């Protein structure tokens, strides 16, 4: 399985474990490039958006359908050119 997300804005030294953005949110981690490389290598396993804080906090106050739409939109944006 592969877990995808984006890094928080800031330097490497400012990165906190478990503080992440949704894929492509900040453009720090090139998720489409990673997924494309996995596809070329024959990967066919699960891909999970790892929604950590602050998104985990935001999702807690959202309706489930809105959470699912947000995650689906993020995933679909990552794979649109693959």
> Does the pLDDT value for residue 59 go beyond 90?
yes
Residues 6+ apart with CB under 8 A from 15: 7, 8
Q: What is the pLDDT of residues 36-53, one digit of tens each?
A: 999 999 999 999 999 999
What pLDDT is stored for residue 5 in this prediction? Answer: 95
pLDDT band at 14 (very low <50, low <70, confident <90, very high): confident
- Over residues 24-45, the mean pLDDT reads 95
- Over residues 47-62, the mean pLDDT reads 94
CB 6 within 8 A of CB 26: yes
CB 29 within 8 A of CB 5: yes
φ, ψ at 55 (rounded to 5°)? -65, -35
H or E element that contains 17? none
> What percentage of residues in the chain have a pLDDT greater than 70?
100
């Amino acid at each position: 399985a592969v877990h995808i997300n984006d890094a928080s804005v800031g330097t490497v030294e400012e990165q906190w474990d478990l503080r992440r953005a949704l894929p492509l949110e900040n453009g720090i981690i090139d998720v489409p490039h990673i997924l494309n490389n996995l596809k070329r290598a024959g990967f066919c396993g699960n891909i999970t958006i790892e929604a950590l804080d602050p998104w985990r906090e935001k999702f807690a106050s959202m309706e489930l359908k809105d959470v699912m739409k947000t995650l689906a939109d993020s995933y679909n944006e990552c794979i649109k050119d693959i």
